[in-house]
Amino acid sequence: MTKRNTLYLLLVSLMTLLLLSGCPNNQPAEKQDKPTAKTQVTTEDPLLFPKDNFTVETKTVRTSGGDKKVTYRSYMHIPYVANPVDVDYESLNVSVPIEIDGIPIDPANAPILLANGVGGYMSFNNKTGGFGLPAGFFPGMRGAGAPEGQGGEQNDAQAPVEGMPPGGGTPGDTGRMNGPSDMNNAVTGKQDLALAAGYVVVEPGCRGRDNQAKDGTYYGKAPAAIVDLKAAVRYIRHNRGIIPGNVDWIISSGCSAGGGLSSILGASGNSSMYDAYLEKIGAADADDSIFACACFSPITDLDHADMSYEWLQGKLPLATGKLVDQKLSKKLKALFADYQASLKLSGKNGYGPITADNYEDYLMQQYLIPSASQYLKAMSKDERNKYLAANPWLSWDGDNARFTFQDYIASTSRIKGLPAFDDFDMENPEPILFGDKTTNARHFTNFTLQQVTGDPTIEIDQDLQKVVNMMNPMFFIRQENPGCAKHWWIRMGSAESGIAVTVSNLAISLENLGKDVNAGIYWEAGHCVDDDPESFITWIGDITGYTLKAGAGEQHRSDSK
């Protein structure tokens, strides 16, 4: 072939290529398949929010101000990553209120409630609308696949779930669980109340410790769930101006394991530790910090939870009437004292350093007495007298409840064994959470590892420790992570046992960081009970300064942040 023929052929090939590609300015195909750079959204973008692809739905939401009829746009099953491992989990639903009681509203600048429904560190399936636990795991909560607004049935006969006690429910509860009303429900009620307040609601699915491929490998072990939730945040941010709502006002919520995940989402904003994982699933390249964070009964600070459990509950008998191994319990209790000292926390109002020695006193002052007092104050005289007769360890001085910390602890019960989380047999949710692709469960604390191996010097391997850190909000709070959320709403029940200290440590460490923390205990409430969901909704209005005005959409208050 002559030089001229070769040149001619080259020219023809080039022109054919240009013609086939349609537009000389098009990027190469492989580039288009990847997530776009920060806030750049193009029509070919796989992470573009499908703003025109919705159905219009209505629901009636019960509020203390009466029923509200909410008309909203419903966007279902939208993948939030470009390369999902399992799109059934890595998708989200968006509900956008457009009319309340017949009056149109403009949701363009509304706060966005990102409500995860995770329980037991199991997966949450966005396609079926359920988590990997059977209906009834949380009494009164909508179970897997149950229709909107219908509570999951309590079903004690259900098959045992690996890593959870038989019969559903949550270990460590002696008190009231979620009531029959959807409004009094930590997981589902808030979404409806948020819609009725004019907020946008995003409900993401995510992978969890139970996800297993056909070949038997696991694909949802830690840190998959938090990586997915971060990807959901990035998806929302990536769609700034396209997805309705104010993407700088993302408020995350969850209860129990979901509360734990919410706390990590709040504390670890923009940490580069997750980058490789996020890149792998094709998450948007966007800011993943959130504005505010709500954690209901969070199961958190997992690598220190065995220690605090023994500090609090070590001398309580199990349901069998037997005590756990007191020698080991004391060892864990001593480790808790070291850990507590290492946190260097200070109490509110000039209380000074909080140590294992004065923590009881602080918990009494700040949380328990105020909570019991509020509960008793709200009762009629007759009701109160009945309550006091049934709980003789408690008295009432006309203003305040009086009791000792030890009596309070004795009124709870110990259902978790020793160690309470990283158990020797690896049957609890947590060791199963920390499995890997080919291993169902792994020990994740040095204490348990040393006990089971008999080697007092052995430590968790560094790669696993990194994952354990990625699953712990305290790790990021202790580092004063600049991407930590500014506002926090933290709640638990007085009748759930064994998580009080991890929850209060979360609250106090955030207060010590200068965060705006609204923390409290609901008296006589069990796991995930939310006695006051409307206050949470009002709080979102307070921290954002967002209120609805009839007919005119959103208005900013003068005190808006």
Q: Which spans of this chain sit near ligand DHB (rule: CB under 6 A)? A: 119-121, 170-172, 256-257, 299, 421, 429
User: Taking the complex as a whole, how short is the minimal distance between the CB of residue 533 and ligand DHB, in angstroms?
Assistant: 18
The residue at minimum Cβ distance from ligand DHB is: 256
User: Taking the complex as a whole, how short is the minimal distance between the CB of residue 444 and ligand DHB, in angstroms?
Assistant: 13
C-alpha distances in Å from residue 6, one per residue of 1, 9, 10, 12, 19 = 7, 5, 6, 10, 20
User: Taking the complex as a whole, how short is the minimal distance between the CB of residue 420 and ligand DHB, in angstroms?
Assistant: 8
Nearer Cβ to ligand DHB (122/376):
122
Nearer Cβ to ligand DHB (257/477):
257
User: Taking the complex as a whole, how short is the minimal distance between the CB of residue 424 and ligand DHB, in angstroms?
Assistant: 15
Nearer Cβ to ligand DHB (260/282):
260
CA dist., res. 282 & res. 528, Å (int): 33
DSSP state string for 102-125: TEE--GGG--EEEE----TT--EE
Between strands 516-522 and 487-493, the pairing is parallel
User: Taking the complex as a whole, how short is the minimal distance between the CB of residue 467 and ligand DHB, in angstroms?
Assistant: 17
Nearer Cβ to ligand DHB (68/443):
443
CA 247 to chain centre: 18
User: Taking the complex as a whole, how short is the minimal distance between the CB of residue 229 and ligand DHB, in angstroms?
Assistant: 15
Nearer Cβ to ligand DHB (61/528):
528
User: Taking the complex as a whole, how short is the minimal distance between the CB of residue 112 and ligand DHB, in angstroms?
Assistant: 24
Residue 551 half-sphere exposure, CB side, CA atoms within 13 Å? 0
At residue 442, the 3 state secondary structure works out as coil
User: Taking the complex as a whole, how short is the minimal distance between the CB of residue 122 and ligand DHB, in angstroms?
Assistant: 8
CA dist., res. 496 & res. 508, Å (int): 19
- The total number of residues shown for the chain amounts to 561
Nearer Cβ to ligand DHB (111/258):
258
Nearer Cβ to ligand DHB (155/270):
155
- Strand blocks (E) in 65-208: 66-79, 91-100, 103-104, 112-115, 124-125, 130-131, 200-204
Closest CA to 173 of 406, 421, 498, 532: 498
User: Taking the complex as a whole, how short is the minimal distance between the CB of residue 120 and ligand DHB, in angstroms?
Assistant: 4
Would you give the end-to-end CA distance of the chain in angstroms? 73
Query: Is residue 336 classed exposed, middle or buried when 0-12, 13-18 and 19+ CB atoms within 10 A define those classes?
Result: buried
Nearer Cβ to ligand DHB (227/499):
499
CA dist., res. 396 & res. 408, Å (int): 14
User: Taking the complex as a whole, how short is the minimal distance between the CB of residue 225 and ligand DHB, in angstroms?
Assistant: 11
The secondary structure of 377-439, three-state, reads HCCCHHHHHHHHHHCCCCEECCCCEECCHHHHHHHCCCCCCCCCCCCCCCCCHHHHHCCCCCC
Nearer Cβ to ligand DHB (299/345):
299
CA dist., res. 518 & res. 537, Å (int): 13
C-alpha distances in Å from residue 214, one per residue of 46, 211, 349 = 27, 10, 56
Nearer Cβ to ligand DHB (45/203):
203
CA 78 to chain centre: 20
